[in-house]
Chain A
Amino acid sequence: MLNLFGHTFRHGVHPPESKGLTEHVPIRRMPFPDRIALPLRQHAGKPAKCLVHKGDRVQRGDKIAEADGYVSVPIHASAAGTVVDIGWWPHPDGSMTETVVIDVEEYSPQIPRPRMVPNWSGLTPDQVRAAVQDGGVVGLGGAAFPTHVKLAPPKDLPIEWLLVNGAECEPYLTTDHRTMVEYPDRVHFGLRIMMQCLGVKRAVIGVELNKPDAIAALERTIPDDLDVTVQGLTVKYPQGAEKMLIEVVTGREVPSGKLPMHVGTVVQNVGSIATIAEIFETGLPLIERVVTVTGPGVRKPSNLIVPVGTMLGDVLDYCGGLTEDAAEIVFGGPMMGSSQPDMRTPITKGTTGVVVLTASEVKPKRTYPCIKCGHCLEACPVFLNPSQLGLLAQAGRYDVMQERYHLQDCMLCGSCSYVCPSNIPLSQMFALSKTALRKQQTAAAAKEKETEKEKEQEGAKVA
């Protein structure tokens, strides 16, 4: 289905797509590394609770940490081996976090324990959700939000549409693209399970038009009994943002501060759906994922199936190493990903790609004063005023940023920074402002409590 005169969201930017390096490179399986590092915090929500001890032997697929509460998922060993350490380890977000380090067994066939494969058609929605949570499934598009939570909308919010996000609007990345081209049946199988679980009749797979082979593969394999359409989307960043995708497909804007379910939609990443399919095909939990290793700084750009927990250095080595002018390593896409300084940092469930940029792309640029050109206003997909927000951030007026200029609606997509001719790091400033605002609010709340207490005490004295 072409979208020649179709509707697109307003604003947004057009960074160079740079997908040519890997978009036609088939997915390969990377061999098991010597050592893997599995952080207990790989998903949004509460970190998992560790179940193993130093010295324990684990099989591939064994649960090594269990979900801690509802918005949490377990972690499974992605290779057989021995737990050699449980301690602080570099995490892709830049912090050190509690991590289980496993020495991978040499010459192991890496065969998981025999397990029951659940028969999806006989399961109630609750059982499906439990299986999805138990499989450790999170959104594979980057945010790593536990998938089972999205499969449980409150009763009073009827879900009409299941939207599958195959936009992959970040430059360089081809993870979802290759998944759709090579495993379209798996996508449809996953869709079938989710549609049954949510009780929805209609599903739409949104794919940017720069992936005609993915659109063709998905359309060719739609099962006759499923109401699934593949919708071509205008190539524009951030088309893959949940709110943008919903707006384009349904014509509805998710109200500010609300969730997709408030407009009757659930959005899932294509990779997450394929993972759910795998759980119900093989019974194996989420222990490996497709990662695009690309960029001008990598010698052999590839699409790889990587065991979760594989360290950055091992992945790069397998891809032929870095070029001389490699200057910055980014986990995720270049628009929203995070720079990595440490070769020991593991690939986690939310790592969509490893992009190595060269000096010419990341050369530090001189910052100029804001000239109020308004380019950021015409780039912001949620219609904020980044120019004004930037000036307020510099002045430390976080309260005004929130009350008058809707700081919390910023999703840090980076479009404003991308277009700013004065090279003002707007989205970075907004990320910092959000943190600062939270701190201020907590401090204010604490102070209020204290004064209340004092008043009470005074009142008690008087009495």
Chain B
Amino acid sequence: MEKPRFELTASPHIKGPDSTPRIMWSVVGSLAPVIFAAIWYFGPSAVLVLAATTLGCVLTERVFGPGGSLRDGSAVITGLLLGLTLPAGIPLWMAFLGGIFAIGLGKLLFGGLGQNVFNPALLGRAFLQAAFPEALTTWPDVSGPWWALRGDNFALPFMTPNPVDTVTGATPLGLMKFEGAHTELARLVIGSTGGSLGETAAVLILLGGAYLALKKYLDWRVPISIFVSVAVLSQIIHVFMPDKPDALFMLFSGGLMLGAVFMATDMVTSPSTPRGAWIYGAGIGALVVLIRLWGGLPEGVMYAILLMNSLVPFINRATQPRLFGTGKEAAA
């Protein structure tokens, strides 16, 4: 008798078109415009830094991760996102180390894809910020020739980077916080300001985010609730304390756009319930405003997201959906 030729599977026997690798690679694709902007503004340094972080992440995943896990694309996302949060002039070995840390301790240590509590890219950046505070806060300006390196990218490990003949300047948030100076909104929106690689092009970030939201590859509630809570809170504060910046400046400066659209929406580390997403986003927004206006650092997006990441299990638990046929909707 010939071998049975029919599949025997449990229902459902058909499957929707989405797959985890497809979601991940779509996120990579939607980062492309942001990456182009980074290269446009920061030249070869941008390419080098992004390559270093991505390589750090991919190699770590390849060596320590489960077999074939590179194919799902999540390591590449972490690498690119980490790179986009770094200043262009950072020595490459630091960027590479950040990538190793992000995947190794940020993700694999928790059990790999889907298990991590914190956004791996932000954890990698937090590690770099703690380890190399100076390199992480030296912001090259976007002026100067395109082809020039924006810092001593090739500095050797643990050596003091050579001073490079490039203009460094403060970020708009730094200017606001430490010098009380304001940056024009138009420059913030198109991104021709100082800052880390990916945080400068607000429009392109929103474009990528809109694409992902339409494909349902990110939960639109998260960025919207972050934006709303940041705008409302900062505008209220601005009304009572006019020396504090207004809502538009808060929205378009610093890493808020990149953080809200690409980091806070990481599916693994954000709530999976719709109501949870609103609470989580509002919490991030409030923390961003508090840290930016009254904290010791000019920027607070990273810590705001990481702090809210740690609350996600509790938010999930508290916001379970209402079971059909219970509550006031059910007929008595």
Shortest CB distance B117–A (Å): 11
Shortest CB distance A122–B (Å): 36
Can you list, as one digit per residue, whether each of A324-349 has a CB less than 8 Å from chain B (1) or not (0)? 00111110001111111100000000
Quick check: B324 and A243 within 8 Å, CB to CB?
Answer: yes
Q: Which residues of A contact B158 (CB under 8 A)?
A: none
Indicate if B294 sits at the interface (CB-CB under 8 A).
no
**Known A-B contacts A374-B267, A382-B324; A171 and B14 likewise in contact (beta carbons under 8 Å):** yes
Shortest CB distance A212–B (Å): 25
Residue in B closest to A338 when the chains form the complex, CB atoms = B11
Q: Which residues of B contact A171 (CB under 8 A)?
A: 14
Provide the bound-state CA to CA distance between A377 and B14, in Å.
19
Quick check: B10 and A431 within 8 Å, CB to CB?
Answer: yes
Indicate if B133 sits at the interface (CB-CB under 8 A).
no
Indicate if B63 sits at the interface (CB-CB under 8 A).
no
Q: Which of A27-35, A76-84, A185-193, A422-430 contacts B (4 or more CB under 8 A)?
A: A422-430
Provide the bound-state CA to CA distance between A45 and B165, in Å.
85
Can you list, as one digit per residue, whether each of B309-332 has a CB less than 8 Å from chain A (1) or not (0)? 000000010001111111001111
Indicate if A357 sits at the interface (CB-CB under 8 A).
yes
Residue in B closest to A406 when the chains form the complex, CB atoms = B323
Q: Which residues of A contact B21 (CB under 8 A)?
A: 368
Quick check: B12 and A409 within 8 Å, CB to CB?
Answer: no
Provide the bound-state CA to CA distance between A162 and B10, in Å.
33
Q: Which residues of A contact B270 (CB under 8 A)?
A: 372
Which applies to chain A's interface (DSSP): helix, strand, loop or mixed?
loop
Within 8 A of A (CB), among B107-151: 112-115
Provide the bound-state CA to CA distance between A381 and B324, in Å.
8
**Known A-B contacts A253-B330, A328-B9, A341-B8; A334 and B14 likewise in contact (beta carbons under 8 Å):** yes
Shortest CB distance B37–A (Å): 27
Give the interface size class of chain A.
35 or more
Indicate if B19 sits at the interface (CB-CB under 8 A).
yes
Q: List 20 A-B contacts (CB under 8 A).
A: A16-B14, A171-B14, A243-B324, A327-B5, A330-B13, A334-B11, A341-B8, A370-B114, A371-B114, A372-B270, A377-B274, A380-B321, A381-B324, A383-B321, A384-B323, A418-B12, A418-B14, A421-B19, A421-B23, A427-B11
Q: Which residues of A contact B14 (CB under 8 A)?
A: 15-16, 171, 334-335, 357, 361, 418
Residue in B closest to A382 when the chains form the complex, CB atoms = B324
Provide the bound-state CA to CA distance between A184 and B37, in Å.
63
Shortest CB distance B1–A (Å): 12
Provide the bound-state CA to CA distance between A116 and B4, in Å.
47
**Known A-B contacts A414-B12, A421-B20; A327 and B7 likewise in contact (beta carbons under 8 Å):** yes
Shortest CB distance B22–A (Å): 7
Quick check: B267 and A339 within 8 Å, CB to CB?
Answer: no
Indicate if A115 sits at the interface (CB-CB under 8 A).
no
Indicate if B213 sits at the interface (CB-CB under 8 A).
no
Provide the bound-state CA to CA distance between A427 and B7, in Å.
18
Indicate if B166 sits at the interface (CB-CB under 8 A).
no
Shortest CB distance A251–B (Å): 9
Residue in B closest to A370 when the chains form the complex, CB atoms = B114
Indicate if A152 sits at the interface (CB-CB under 8 A).
no
Provide the bound-state CA to CA distance between A337 and B216, in Å.
28
Quick check: A336 and B12 within 8 Å, CB to CB?
Answer: yes
Can you list, as one digit per residue, whether each of B1-40 has a CB less than 8 Å from chain A (1) or not (0)? 0001111111111111011111100000000000000000
Quick check: A422 and B20 within 8 Å, CB to CB?
Answer: yes
Residue in A closest to B217 when the chains form the complex, CB atoms = A373
Residue in A closest to B21 when the chains form the complex, CB atoms = A368
Quick check: B16 and A419 within 8 Å, CB to CB?
Answer: yes
Provide the bound-state CA to CA distance between A335 and B15, in Å.
9
Q: Which residues of A contact B246 (CB under 8 A)?
A: none
Provide the bound-state CA to CA distance between A427 and B11, in Å.
8
Most buried by A among B11, B270, B329, B332: B11
Q: Which residues of A contact B18 (CB under 8 A)?
A: 375, 419, 421
Residue in A closest to B111 when the chains form the complex, CB atoms = A369
Can you list, as one digit per residue, whether each of A296-322 has a CB less than 8 Å from chain B (1) or not (0)? 000000000000000000000000000
Indicate if A387 sits at the interface (CB-CB under 8 A).
yes
7 closest residue pairs by CB, A with B: A414-B12, A369-B114, A374-B272, A382-B324, A428-B10, A256-B325, A328-B7
**Known A-B contacts A327-B7, A373-B272; A409 and B323 likewise in contact (beta carbons under 8 Å):** yes
Q: Which residues of B contact A368 (CB under 8 A)?
A: 19-21, 72, 113-114
Q: Which residues of B contact A425 (CB under 8 A)?
A: 10
Indicate if B207 sits at the interface (CB-CB under 8 A).
no
Indicate if B268 sits at the interface (CB-CB under 8 A).
yes
Provide the bound-state CA to CA distance between A185 and B203, in Å.
61
Indicate if A254 sits at the interface (CB-CB under 8 A).
yes
Quick check: A361 and B13 within 8 Å, CB to CB?
Answer: yes
Q: Which residues of B contact A385 (CB under 8 A)?
A: 272-273, 320-321
Quick check: B13 and A423 within 8 Å, CB to CB?
Answer: no
Residue in A closest to B13 when the chains form the complex, CB atoms = A334
Provide the bound-state CA to CA distance between A283 and B219, in Å.
58
Within 8 A of A (CB), among B50-94: 72
Within 8 A of B (CB), among A112-168: none
Q: Which residues of A contact B332 (CB under 8 A)?
A: 255
Provide the bound-state CA to CA distance between A409 and B267, in Å.
26
Indicate if A417 sits at the interface (CB-CB under 8 A).
yes
Within 8 A of A (CB), among B285-328: 316, 320-326
Quick check: B10 and A409 within 8 Å, CB to CB?
Answer: no
Indicate if A220 sits at the interface (CB-CB under 8 A).
no
Q: Which residues of B contact A15 (CB under 8 A)?
A: 14, 16
Provide the bound-state CA to CA distance between A418 and B14, in Å.
7
Residue in B closest to A171 when the chains form the complex, CB atoms = B14
Q: Which residues of B contact A387 (CB under 8 A)?
A: 272
Shortest CB distance B67–A (Å): 12
Provide the bound-state CA to CA distance between A166 and B320, in Å.
33
Q: Which residues of A contact B5 (CB under 8 A)?
A: 327
Indicate if A102 sits at the interface (CB-CB under 8 A).
no
Contact partner of A327 among B6, B20, B114, B272, CB < 8 A? B6
Q: Which residues of B contact A19 (CB under 8 A)?
A: none
Contact partner of B13 among A253, A328, A383, CB < 8 A? A328
Q: Which residues of A contact B271 (CB under 8 A)?
A: 374
Within 8 A of B (CB), among A382-438: 382-385, 387-388, 404-406, 409, 412, 414, 417-423, 425, 427-428, 431
Q: Which residues of B contact A326 (CB under 8 A)?
A: 6
Residue in B closest to A419 when the chains form the complex, CB atoms = B16
Residue in A closest to B270 when the chains form the complex, CB atoms = A372
**Known A-B contacts A328-B7, A369-B114, A377-B272; A383 and B12 likewise in contact (beta carbons under 8 Å):** no
Provide the bound-state CA to CA distance between A336 and B20, in Å.
24
Within 8 A of B (CB), among A36-93: none
Residue in B closest to A263 when the chains form the complex, CB atoms = B331
Indicate if A461 sits at the interface (CB-CB under 8 A).
no
Q: Which residues of B contact A372 (CB under 8 A)?
A: 114, 267-268, 270, 272
Provide the bound-state CA to CA distance between A209 and B113, in Å.
41
Indicate if A378 sits at the interface (CB-CB under 8 A).
yes
